Structure 1
Amino acid sequence: MSLSSQSNQLPESEKSVSTEKRILPDKHTSLRLQIWETPLMRPDSSVLDAFAWEEVMCRRVGAGHLPVAHIWRHPDAFVAGLRDRRLPRAVEAMERIRGEGTAVCVRPSGGAAVPLNPGVVNVSLILPNPGHAINIHDDFREMASIIAESLIPWTTQAETGEVQGAFCPGDYDVSVGGLKFCGIAQRRQAKAYIITAFIIVEDQGDRLASEVRRFYEEASGGVAKGYPEVKLGTMASLQELAGVPSSAAYTASLVRTLRRRYPYAEIERVLSVGTDEVLLTAEQMKLRYD
């Protein structure tokens, strides 16, 4: 199986003159879609279970299963990127976080370190790709458009473009007033792919940024370069930016947006991640990436 992972950081040759722009709704599509919402995961659950479930579903979508939207949250986790894991003291930094009672994993998709809590909504689109086509711009624009449309009850000011100093940086950061609340990444298999995003709905952006900055200070050993230089004053929650009252309120708007965007979407289902195939995949991912 051919696998690849990409963040929303595009190659120089693919960047437009100005990546920052107001997000406009895309055309509706006739694609059938299943919407799955995982209840808030247990505090003692492995955050890898959610990524493993998506990996399993990506294989199934590649084999003909209906495309999937997956919405989930974890009460307390720290998700590192593949490049983060290669920092000289990454293992020690992750062990320190685990020792504080936070679940830790290295995710298979692109992107860099992100802290998760009940105020951070994760959403993934799992779509078929039988022709092996790659159009990174279209994929990220589609996800950014869905996220922005879901925010319309509170604001229409969402934009894309890298926010310098924000964690998990990329050309398709989604921001309001220059402050980032969302990052997008991608994971590809042979016949299907996953576009995934984190959306900070509640909490304080500076508090989360401080967590990520501390991780990089420790993981780099004070020597290594090539990791995001996280600065305060670059991240914010939708609660801070637009008065979104709760993760539940934004999630409900997100589901409504998906149903409008995909008129043939099936009623959302409640997911149980504890199947044997998912648990086996999670263990394989842990061995491969952690």
Structure 2
Amino acid sequence: MSTDRAEYEGIGPEIKQQERLAEQKRQVWPEGIRIWAPTLESMPEDIIFPLAWEEMMCRRVGEGEAPIMHIWRHPYALTIGMRDRRLPRAPQAMEKLRREGCSVAVRVSGGAAVPLDEGVVNVSLILPNPDRKLELHGDFERMVSLIAGAAAPWTSEARAGEIAGAFCPGDYDVSVNGRKFCGIAQRRQTKAYILTAFIIADGSGEERRRLAREFYDEASGILQPGDAYPDVREGSMASLDELAGVPSAEAYISSLQDWMIEQAGASILTKGPQLPLDELDRLSAQLKLRYDRD
């Protein structure tokens, strides 16, 4: 057998394996995913702005624009769910936080109260859905694979499953050793949808838990935790720093980007998509009017 033929036959299976892996990635992730990670310093004070940005981008992706992964942080905010907003003293609890410099908004994607600060990384995958398929479990599992994969340089123990006593509880809480560091939700539009997650990357999980509990204590009035609002308990939350030694939110963001480039063929944008600021302002006002009400 000639050397050239031996080399050809030797690399053939490798090429086929690479093609199979590429095809598997295309089946899990749509082509052309872009990553936009604005700096913390560029984030507007009002927490409704990044939520409105994602709503508008979701519309554009539904109209044919390429899918996008949005990674962002906020200096100090609390997002709450629509059920939270209907608690007897929610307006007073929200106003109290605002007087303390905390931006507060009702989250369109649902769920419950989530404190945000510079150590909490928000990740949203804005993906097309032209056939209007509903694959909730598959979508959530896809997000879990991303969150756990990005944590893999520090821990292989990330698991999905509801954590009792955690804030914003759900079937796809992501935890290490029984303490939650990530929650996942989704928001669907007509031809696109948003898979979104918060990840407590560094700092104290207990401090964030305490803020969520203080909001509920103020907002709940005479209601008791359980059906009306989550029973947020001590020892349920932790950061990836506390759980696995992740050095910073920036380090985790870098790992998220690397994972998406490797697994989904994503590319990093150096400049964000151009969305009209006047339209974003109008949409922000509409979201407040629609969701931030009794």
Give the root-mean-square deviation of aligned CA atoms: 1.5
Residue 264 (structure 2) aligns with = 262
For 1:210 and 1:232, the matched residues in 2 are separated by 8
Percent identity of equivalent pairs: 54
Structure-1 residue corresponding to 2:148: 148
Query: What is the CA-CA distance between 1:267 and the residue it aligns to?
Result: 2.4
**Matched length:** 263
How far apart are residue 231 of structure 1 and its match?
A: 0.2
Query: What is the Cα deviation at residue 283 of structure 1?
Result: 1.1
Partner SS state of residue 28, structure 1 = helix
Deviates more, 1:222-231 or 1:147-156: 222-231
Runs of at least 4 residues off by over 4 Å: 41-44
Where structure 1 has 5 or more consecutive residues not aligned to the other structure, the ranges are 1-26
Find the counterpart in structure 2 of residue 227 from structure 1: 229
Match of 1:236 among 231, 235, 238: 238
* CA deviation after TM superposition for structure 1 residue 32, in Å: 1.6
Flag the structure with larger Rg: 2
* Residue in structure 1 matched with residue 253 of structure 2 by the alignment: 251
Cα distance, 1:39 vs structure 2: 1.2
CA distance in 2, matches of 1:68, 1:267: 10
Q: Give distance in 2, aligned partners of 1:285 and 1:81.
A: 13
Q: What residue is the counterpart of 2:285 in the other structure?
A: 283
**1:12 — aligned with what?**
none
Aligned equivalents of 1:243, 1:28: Cα separation in 2: 30
Asked if the contact 1:76–1:117 (Cα under 8 Å) also holds between the matched residues in 2, the reply is: yes
2:268 counterpart letter in structure 1: I
Q: Distance in 2 between matches of 1:88 and 1:55?
A: 28
| 1:159 aligned onto 2:162 | no
Instruction: Report the Cα distance in structure 1 between the residues aligned to 2:258 and 2:73, rounded to whole angstroms.
Output: 18
Q: 1:252 to 1:215 in 2, by over 3 A?
A: same
Q: Which amino acid aligns with 2:97?
A: I
Task: Look up the SS of the partner of 2:142 in the other structure.
Answer: helix
Aligned amino acid, residue 210 of structure 1 = R
Q: Which has the higher helix share?
A: 2
TM-score (structure 1 length as normaliser)? 0.87
Provide the C-alpha distance between the structure 2 equivalents of 1:235 and 1:268, rounded to a whole number of angstroms.
Answer: 33
Alignment of 1:28 onto 2:22: no
Secondary structure of the residue aligned to 1:218 is helix
Distance verdict in 2 for CA 1:136–1:43, change over 3 Å: closer
Within 1, Cα distance between the matches of 2:117 and 2:84?
A: 20
- What letter is aligned with 2:98? R
Structure of higher RCO (CA pairs closer than 8 Å, 6+ residues apart)? 1
Is contact 2:175-2:182 (8 Å) kept?
Answer: yes
Tell me if structure 2 keeps the 8 A contact 1:202–1:246: yes
Output the CA distance in 2 between the equivalents of 1:270 and 1:84.
Answer: 35
2:107 is aligned to 107
